[in-house]
A and B are shown apart, each in its own frame.
Chain A
Amino acid sequence: MVDGGNAGGKLKLIILDHHQLFRDCLASALAEQGRFEIVGKVSSSPEALDRLAQTGADLLLVALSATVDGVRDLIEGVEERFPRARVVLLGHDETEDEVLTCLEAGASGYLVRNQSLSELCSALEAVAQGDTVCTPGMAHSLFARLARLGRERRRRDRLDYLTLTARELEILHLVGDGLNNQEIASRLFLSVHTVKNHVHKILETLGVHSRWDAVRYAVEHGWIRDRRQR
Chain B
Amino acid sequence: MQPSIAVVIVSADRIFCEVVAASLSRREGLEAIAAPGGAGGLDLQSVPGIVLIDASFDRQSSLSQTWEVRTRWPDAKIIAVGLDEEDEQIVDFAEAGALGYVLKGATLDEMIETIQRVHQGETLCSPRILAAVVARITSLARLGPEPPPREVEPLTAREREILALVAAGLGNKEVGRRLRITVQTVKNHVHRILEKLQCHRRREAVRLAYDLGLLTEPQEGPPPLGELEFVKKNKGELDPF
Q: Interface of A with B (CB < 8 Å)?
A: 103-104, 108, 123, 126-127, 129-134, 136-137, 139-140, 142-147, 149-156, 158-159, 161-163, 165-167, 169-170, 173-174, 187-189, 194, 216, 219-220, 222-226, 228-230
Q: Report if A216-B207 is in contact (Cβ < 8 Å); known contacts: A132-B127, A132-B131, A188-B232.
A: no
Query: What is the CA–CA distance of A222 and B217 in the complex, to the nearest angstrom?
Result: 13
Which of B140, B207, B225, B239 makes the CB contact (< 8 A) with A149? B140
Which of A108, A167, A229 makes the CB contact (< 8 A) with B61? A229
Query: What is the CA–CA distance of A225 and B222 in the complex, to the nearest angstrom?
Result: 10
Query: What is the CA–CA distance of A230 and B36 in the complex, to the nearest angstrom?
Result: 11
Q: Report if A159-B210 is in contact (Cβ < 8 Å); known contacts: A130-B131, A188-B232.
A: yes
Enumerate the 6 nearest inter-chain pairs by beta-carbon distance, A residue then B residue, closest first: A166-B169, A131-B127, A150-B95, A136-B122, A132-B131, A126-B127
Q: Are B140 and A153 in contact (CB under 8 A)?
A: yes
Q: Which residue of B lies closest to A105 (CB)?
A: B138
Q: Are A139 and B60 in contact (CB under 8 A)?
A: no
Question: Apart from A123-B127, A166-B241, what are 14 other A-B pairs with CB-CB below 8 Å?
Answer: A131-B127, A146-B133, A149-B95, A149-B137, A165-B239, A169-B169, A187-B232, A219-B64, A224-B221, A224-B222, A226-B60, A226-B61, A229-B38, A230-B37
Query: What is the CA–CA distance of A142 and B97 in the complex, to the nearest angstrom?
Result: 11
Per-position contact with A for B90-101: 1 when CB-CB < 8 Å, else 0?
010011111110
Which of A132, A161, A220 makes the CB contact (< 8 A) with B222? A161
Q: Are A137 and B121 in contact (CB under 8 A)?
A: yes
Query: What is the CA–CA distance of A200 and B71 in the complex, to the nearest angstrom?
Result: 33
Q: Which residues of B contact A223 (CB under 8 A)?
A: 221-222
Q: Which residues of A contact B126 (CB under 8 A)?
A: 131
Interface residues on B, range: 35 or more
Q: Are B64 and A133 in contact (CB under 8 A)?
A: no
B240 at the interface (CB under 8 A from A): yes
Which of B137, B217, B232 makes the CB contact (< 8 A) with A142? B137
Q: Are A139 and B125 in contact (CB under 8 A)?
A: yes
Q: Are A173 and B217 in contact (CB under 8 A)?
A: no
Q: Are A145 and B122 in contact (CB under 8 A)?
A: no
Q: Which residues of B contact A154 (CB under 8 A)?
A: 67
B177 at the interface (CB under 8 A from A): no
Q: Which residues of B contact A147 (CB under 8 A)?
A: 70, 94-99
What total count of A-B pairs have CB within 8 Å?
A: 164
Query: What is the CA–CA distance of A211 and B145 in the complex, to the nearest angstrom?
Result: 33
B143 at the interface (CB under 8 A from A): yes
Q: Are A146 and B91 in contact (CB under 8 A)?
A: yes
Q: From DSSP, what is the main secondary structure of chain A's interface residues?
A: helix
Q: Which residues of A contact B228 (CB under 8 A)?
A: 166, 169-170, 173
Q: Are A131 and B231 in contact (CB under 8 A)?
A: no
Query: What is the CA–CA distance of A152 and B145 in the complex, to the nearest angstrom?
Result: 9
B144 at the interface (CB under 8 A from A): yes
Query: What is the CA–CA distance of A17 and B95 in the complex, to the nearest angstrom?
Result: 36
Which of B37, B60, B211 makes the CB contact (< 8 A) with A216? B60
Q: Are A131 and B240 in contact (CB under 8 A)?
A: no
B12 at the interface (CB under 8 A from A): yes
26 contacts between A and B (CB under 8 A): A104-B134, A132-B130, A133-B127, A137-B122, A143-B94, A143-B98, A143-B99, A146-B136, A147-B94, A149-B95, A149-B137, A150-B94, A150-B95, A150-B96, A159-B207, A159-B217, A162-B203, A162-B207, A166-B241, A170-B169, A187-B232, A188-B231, A222-B67, A222-B220, A223-B221, A230-B37
Q: Are B203 and A145 in contact (CB under 8 A)?
A: no
Q: Are B124 and A136 in contact (CB under 8 A)?
A: yes
Q: Are A144 and B231 in contact (CB under 8 A)?
A: no
Within B102-123, the residues touching A (CB, 8 Å) are 117-118, 121-123
